[in-house]
Amino acid sequence: MTSKLMKPFMLMILLTIATQFFGLIKNVFIAKIFGVGAEVDAYNLANTYTVSITNLAIPAIIIVLIPFLTKRGDTVAERAAINTYVSVLLLGIIVAVGLGIGSLFWILKHQSGLSETLTLTLLIIMILSVAQIYRVLTAVLTAFRQVENDFLTAKIATLCSTIFSGIYIVLAQKPSILLVSLFLTISFILEAGILLVRNRGFGFRIQFKWGNQIFHKLIRQTGPVVFNSIVFQVSLLFSTTLASFLGQGYVATLGYANQILSIIQALVLVNILTLVYPSLTRMFAKKINAGKELFIKYVTVTNILVIPLVVGIAVIGDLFTALLFERGAFTSADTQQVTLFMTMLGIGLPGLVLRDFIYRVYFCLDDTKTPSRISIFTILANVLLLLILTPIFNIYAVLLIPGFMNFVSAWFAYRLLEKRIGRMDARHKLVKQQLIILVNAGVMGAVLYYLKVQISLSPIVSLLLLVVVGIAIYGALVALTQRRFIRTLKTKGASE
């Protein structure tokens, strides 16, 4: 991370930590009150289904709109293209949500014999569907802030939204999962409202200039992204639905595991990608070789943080899970299962880091088709493997196969990218750095495992002690083995 970006990155980290903290408090209360029962299964299923709607549009905002905003001029045609593009995205999500709510209302009114869990799931979907309109609006407004190098407003808005969404579950004496969903929806409206106020006088307006040629170009770039998103969401929904059939509580357990893993993704991967994507776009537009160096640097920095966190979760994740959730309806057996799930899911995170950065390079080159084709291939392979292996390995296939496919898709994308722009890593610096990171994290994990077996303190004291020891050991190893890389970050920071 360059010195120029370090200050906003640290502020983003602090805001993300605060957001994740309040999100965890909300989930602690959900675990205490509902455990891993049918109500949490319904809530998590509904979340997965409704978020899949907006995840068709949000990737287009990130992949197509941000690079265009970064490189755009200020002509009338460009402003009209932006206005029309955003208006179409918002109109499309409004129509999709309206049709979805109407269909579910008809099902609930005319279909008898629905199970209680299914009825609850459909009701929560109807509530959360409204939130998805505001999620898309928030993504658009956030894009406009990011290209102006304002990375903090969106984080502040998300923090306010997270705090509000947890108010009901914390204060209510006998909370209802339906009202938990309603407060979540209102929280997204609040987040969009904060960003609307901040973007006042800057951003976009509703406009439809269908003949605008720049708008046509943006739509052509968006097509592969949306198609890829559809295939990915179908794969995700397939995995989640498959888990719900394998046993009651599996979807809830996956939800808790993903909640903890999302802390790593939000703190490290999302923040770094958000911060560096505009810079990466500008660098590849100026000089390909400089862009390659920047790519290697950012992937290495990200995995220096991600890999030891994954190892730490595998070794001491049970202490963290127990401290967060093990009370009320959430038992020690639930703790062990959540820890196992998040350990197996976490294995795929380094592959996700590599894949997401490689895809960003394609997007910097205005190529949205190649990542889409690779994703379609890997997702179809993912579904095929799930169909073949789930009857044999049960839930473990659902946990491991998507992570394995992260590495497969990253490898394919990397090889195809080299055919297009030449060797990305002529001196194998990226591979060497990843191996050093793995060795350092492995040593840290071995020491933590030994200490965990030896100490007999209270869970919170044990956890804090092990975290401090882990940070100290890993920090020392990084300082010893990656000194040259750290110097490179400092010396090249000014040039970026």
DSSP letters spanning 389-440: HHHHHTHHHHHHHHHHHHHHHHHHHHHHHHHHH--S-TT-HHHHHHHHHHHH
**305 and 159 together in one domain:** no
Number of domains forming the structure of the chain: 2
**477 and 442 together in one domain:** yes
DSSP letters spanning 370-392: HHHHHHHHHHHHHHHHHHHHHHH
Work out the pLDDT band at 494, boundaries 50, 70, 90.
very low
What SS3 class is residue 269? Answer: helix
- Cα–Cα dist 403/350, whole Å: 9
Q: What is the pLDDT of residue 5?
A: 60
Instruction: Label residues 401-432 b or e (16+ Cβ within 10 Å = b).
Output: bbbbbbbbbbbbbbebbeeeeeebbeeebbee
Nearest Cα to Cα of residue 447 among 310, 348, 316:
316
- Cα–Cα dist 259/321, whole Å: 11
Domain boundary among 201, 218, 248: 248
Tell me whether residue 373 is in a domain: no
Tell me whether residue 415 is in a domain: no
Tell me whether residue 135 is in a domain: yes
Tell me whether residue 144 is in a domain: yes
Q: What is the pLDDT of residue 271?
A: 76
- Cα–Cα dist 182/282, whole Å: 41
Q: Crossing angle, helix 429-454 and helix 459-481, to 10 degrees?
A: 150
Dihedral-angle region of residue 131 (phi above 0 means left; psi in -120 to 50 means alpha; beta otherwise): alpha
Q: What is the pLDDT of residues 423-482, one digit of tens each?
A: 888 778 888 889 999 999 999 999 999 999 888 888 889 999 999 999 999 999 999 988
H runs (alpha helix) in 116-212? 116-147, 153-171, 177-198
Q: Provide the mean pLDDT of the chain.
A: 84
- Cα–Cα dist 411/461, whole Å: 41
Tell me whether residue 326 is in a domain: yes
**215 and 253 together in one domain:** no
Tell me whether residue 198 is in a domain: yes
**55 and 124 together in one domain:** yes
Q: Is this model's pTM higher than 0.95 or not? A: no
Domain boundary among 248, 283, 316: 248
Domain region containing 329? 1-31+249-368+424-496
Domain boundary among 182, 214, 248: 248
Mean pLDDT confidence for 319-337: 86
Q: What is the pLDDT of residues 95-112, one digit of tens each?
A: 988 998 999 888 888 877
